[in-house]
Chain A
Amino acid sequence: MGLDTALPCGLIVTELVSNSLKYAFPGPGHAGVILISLGRTQQGEYTLVVWDNGVGLPPDYKEKQTNSLGTRLVTMLTDQLNGTIAVDGSRGTRTEIRFKESQYQKRI
């Protein structure tokens, strides 16, 4: 994976993980698991999944409408990767981002 793809990818993971840490496990002494996975299909498509087993999302949650900086950053970076984002908040929160490696001209 090239730098141009890896950079946003890292930022997306950072944001999603920090989100889970901030919101998925409210209250003290709450034990939880955060799963990060990155897979690549044979067609060269990457699937980045950040999953937590927290409280999940409220039923009226709409990812695009969320104006929180974190969510906006994720959305922007996914756009930058020309990827798709799918959020499932029913069993914890699962965010799946699919993208291909960005094609850039050689920089200098």
Chain B
Amino acid sequence: MKGRRILVVDDERIVAEDISECLQSMDCQVVATAISGLQAIEMAHAHRPDLIMMDITLQGEMDGIEAAARIRQELGISCVFLTAYSDPAFLNRAKQVQPAGYVVKPFDESGIRAAVEIGLYKVATERALSESQGWFQTTLMSIGDGVIATDERGCIKFINAAAEEILGLTNEQVVSHPLQAVFPIYDEHTNAAVENPVCEALRTGSDIKQASSIVLQRHDGRLVPIEESATLIRDCSGALLGAALVVRDVAVRRKAERELHQYQLHLEELVNQRTEKIRQTNAELQAEAEERCKVQKALQRRVEIEALHAGISASFLDLKHDDFDQGVTAALEKIGRFLKVESVEFCQVSSDGEALNCTHEWCENGVSKIADTLQALPMAALPWLSFQLDQGGGLAIRSIDEVPPEAIMTRQIFEIRGARSALFLALKEGDILRGFTVIFATREQRSWANDDVTLLRMMNGVLQAAVYRMKVEADKEQLQTQLTQSQKMEAVGKLSGGIAHDFNNMLLPIIGYSDMLIGRFAGEGRDLSELEEIRKAAERAASLTRQLLAFSRKQIIKKVPLDLNKAIEDMRNMLSRIIGENIRLETKLNEALGAVNADPSQMEQVLMNLVVNARDAMPDGGAVAISTYNETLTQASAVAQKNPELVGNFVCIKIADTGVGIPAGNLDRIFEPFFTTKGQEGTGLGLSVIYGIVEQHQGGIHVETSPGKGTTFYIYLPASSIPVPQPEDPAQAVRRAQGDDSLRGRGERILLIEDEEGVIKFVSSALRSRGYEIVQAMNYKEALEQFDAGEYDLIFSDAVLPDGNGVDLLDKFMNEKPETRALLSSGYTDKTALMQMVKEREISFLQKPYSLPQLYRTVREVIDDHQSHLLS
């Protein structure tokens, strides 16, 4: 009672005060007093008393019962009514608000005390019950499991929120329905209806815990997997009140379980994947490591190859020509030992592309050399190999079975070598197969690796470069030789030129005076035979000089009607000497041979060069046959087919030898300048000069050759219709010239310029005797003075003067006086430029030594402006 808080409500303040006094004496606390219902409600709200002493009659509209009802409703606080009434109607109303007690007025303290004590007790009990109910209610409503309570017959009394959720029905919808009706359950696997555990529990009288795998079919048709258990509810005496069913929706759990399971599977999958990945990565790493190892090995091999390559390259750098073969063989050995093969052969195709020669070879000890066998193999017999090398550049043969049976020669090479495997690598110059390197494995079969090919290819490069270098050096040496030869010839030419010059100057007076004497003796009827012998000797000397000049190729070309037979006969002695004693010179000259319009000295040169070549082709002796004949070439003839211009009437010189013949590969090159097969002996110019000469004469050359049997040259020159003048007897010629009045001078003034005393004396006296007036000049300077001093009908000058040259001089005079007639004479000149000018200025030219009639005729013709002696 102590400290209980009490609100007193009475419209009688005195009564209220009295009650308060009474309550305070009971150690209760009167929190307030109110005199109206509204005030009571207000106070109750403000103070929350434990109990209210409520008068029924109050001020205002609201009486105590109504106020108590509202307070109870709003705050759950009970009242003890103070009333003077006790009629049933009032009591009935008062009971509705479940009062905590009644005090009937008039009251005394003990009455109040008892009522308050009972009231407070009742309030405390009510509150405890209510709190307990609240607890249970809240607990039931808030637990996650569904709870369904039934009565002892199995009819639903109450379901909590979770059960509402599971069933999809509200408490109101199911209360007092039989549980069976709203809660049909089935076995999840068999779909068989299962007895409700509550019914089972009620039937058997013991609690049931249902196994799992039960599904509930909701009224909306949904199936919900559940777990459930039924517990019987009994009162304190043990009487059965009903049962409680606890239901759990395991869908979420199932789902979670499934998800967990899925997740586990997923994780497992992930782990598997990961493991697989790791395994894969591991394998990759291992493979990469192996690959690296391989690459490293390959690199190592490559470095070794490079080193070998560099070594061999370097060894070739300083190699002299003479050591070349040894160097190549040494290189082959290095290659062979490096590649661990039994033999390495270096084969080259001959320059004509016809034959294959093994030029270098290395064999391991105990393996026999085969280079001597592999010589002059005709390329035509190796069509398969050449094709393979031409196409692929290389050919790796693991077994002889890979060589087709028709490649007989290639198989034969295998057999000769006793090879099991071979690796060929072509050596090419542009697209042309120049040879190959081949390595043979004889002891065992071998598959060729890329490295082998690479190395061999590199070595091929080195060998090719070396071969090329050697060839260049050989060419250089040859060129050097040719240059030397050419210089030698130049020197010989100069020497012979000089000799010819002096010689001709000496011969001129001999011939000239002989002619004069012949003329005089003939007039006196004296014997001319001795004089004629002198003259003939002089002629032969002149001929020799001319041949000498021909040899040094310094002569002036002058085409004249020529009898080739005579030219050949004239040269016969000289040619016989040139060819030596063990070679016969045979001539078969057609007597009806036509004339040609040709330069005699050039013809002599053609003959001489061809005969010299023939001699060189027959080191062991033989015969040279020179024959001449006329031939009419038509377009159908064999010669014309090769030389389409050669159609018409020709005179042919055929020079046949019985020598070694010309190899087919060389045939195309024989007319090339400096092409020679004679080594240091030859200039390589002979045939090229002939070619040039024949071309100048609109002729052609045809060659037939048969290796080992001999060569025949055919020189075709166009036949000329101009007959060759019959050589006149010198005596007659002189007499005729002296008797020919048309050749006499008519007092014409001639400026004669000549440094050679014998010549100037002879020419002066010869011309004066014929009626010309001669002014002499012995040199350039004198000539200028004399030219300025007078008028001349003819300037007759030697080409070579001590202080200048005759061509310049004549040029100068003709520039000063364009009408000047000029005649130039020379025994020899090597100044081709001067000769060019002679041609351009159309200066007449008289070759020393000349005969008396030639002198008379030429002088007369130049003065009379005849052009017959112009240079052709």
Contacts and interface: CB of A to CB of B under 8 A. Distances in A.
B648 interface: no
Contact of A102 (B59, B63, B85): B59
Contact of B13 (A76, A103, A107, A108): A76
A79 B13 contact: yes
A55 to B, nearest CB: 28
Interface string A85-105: 000000000000000001111
Contacts of A79: 13, 35
A77 B57 contact: no
Given A103-B61, A104-B57, 15 more contacts: A11-B14, A72-B17, A73-B14, A73-B17, A76-B13, A77-B13, A79-B35, A80-B59, A82-B59, A102-B11, A102-B59, A103-B59, A104-B11, A105-B60, A105-B63
B17 A76 contact: yes
A108 B13 CA distance: 21
B290 interface: no
Contacts of B570: none
B13 A8 contact: yes
Contacts of B17: 72-73, 76
B108 interface: no
B57 A107 contact: yes
Contact of B60 (A8, A72, A103): A103
Interface in B199-255: none
B61 A80 contact: no
Nearest to A80: B13
B257 interface: no
Interface string A54-82: 00000000000000000011001101101
B12 interface: yes
B60 A77 contact: no
Contacts, number: 36
Contacts of B16: 76
9 contacts: A4-B11, A8-B13, A73-B17, A77-B13, A80-B11, A80-B59, A102-B11, A104-B57, A104-B60
A104 B59 contact: yes
> Chain B CB within 10 Å — which of A76, A82, A103 has the most?
A76
A4 B13 CA distance: 12
Contact of A105 (B14, B35, B61, B85): B61
Interface string B84-104: 010000000000000000000
A76 B14 contact: yes
Contacts of A80: 11-13, 35, 59
Interface in B25-60: 35, 57, 59-60
Interface of A: 4, 8, 11, 72-73, 76-77, 79-80, 82, 102-105, 107-108
A-B pairs with the 5 shortest C-beta distances? A76-B13, A80-B13, A102-B59, A80-B35, A77-B13
B33 to A, nearest CB: 9
Interface residues of B, number: 13
A46 B367 CA distance: 160
> Chain B CB within 10 Å — which of A73, A77, A80, A102 has the most?
A80
A103 B38 CA distance: 13
A49 B12 CA distance: 22
Contacts of A4: 11, 59
> Chain B CB within 10 Å — which of A8, A72, A104 has the most?
A104
A11 B12 CA distance: 12
B30 to A, nearest CB: 13
Interface string B363-402: 0000000000000000000000000000000000000000
Given A105-B61, A107-B57, A77 B35 contact: no
A77 B14 CA distance: 8
Nearest to A107: B57
Contacts of B35: 79-80
A62 B61 CA distance: 35
Interface string B1-14: 00000000001111
Contacts of A103: 59-61
A76 B19 CA distance: 14
Contacts of B12: 80
A108 B84 CA distance: 11
Nearest to B10: A80
Nearest to A75: B13
A73 B14 CA distance: 7
A105 B60 CA distance: 6
Nearest to A7: B12
A79 B57 CA distance: 17
A2 to B, nearest CB: 12
A78 B571 CA distance: 190
Nearest to B17: A76
A102 B16 CA distance: 17
Nearest to B60: A103
> Chain A CB within 10 Å — which of B13, B60, B63 has the most?
B13
Nearest to B16: A76
A85 to B, nearest CB: 13
Contacts of B14: 11, 73, 76-77
Contacts of A73: 14, 17
A107 B61 CA distance: 11
Nearest to B90: A108
Contacts of B61: 103, 105
B104 to A, nearest CB: 16
Contacts of A102: 11, 59
Nearest to B85: A108
B689 to A, nearest CB: 168
A72 B57 CA distance: 23
Nearest to A69: B17
Interface string B689-733: 000000000000000000000000000000000000000000000
Contacts of B13: 8, 76-77, 79-80
Contacts of A82: 59
Contacts of A72: 17
A105 to B, nearest CB: 6
B105 to A, nearest CB: 13
A8 B547 CA distance: 192
A73 B61 CA distance: 25
Interface in B60-95: 60-61, 63, 85
Nearest to B12: A80
> Chain B CB within 10 Å — which of A11, A105, A107 has the most?
A105
Nearest to A78: B13
A8 B85 CA distance: 22
Contacts of A104: 11, 57, 59-60
A105 B12 CA distance: 14
B8 to A, nearest CB: 12
Contacts of B59: 4, 80, 82, 102-104
A4 B12 CA distance: 9
Nearest to B62: A105
Nearest to A108: B85
A73 to B, nearest CB: 7
> Chain A CB within 10 Å — which of B16, B35, B85 has the most?
B35
Contacts of A11: 14
A103 B36 CA distance: 10
Nearest to A72: B17
A53 to B, nearest CB: 29
B702 to A, nearest CB: 169
A67 to B, nearest CB: 13
A5 B755 CA distance: 196
Contacts of B57: 104-105, 107
B336 to A, nearest CB: 140
A77 B607 CA distance: 184
A42 B59 CA distance: 23
Interface in B760-783: none
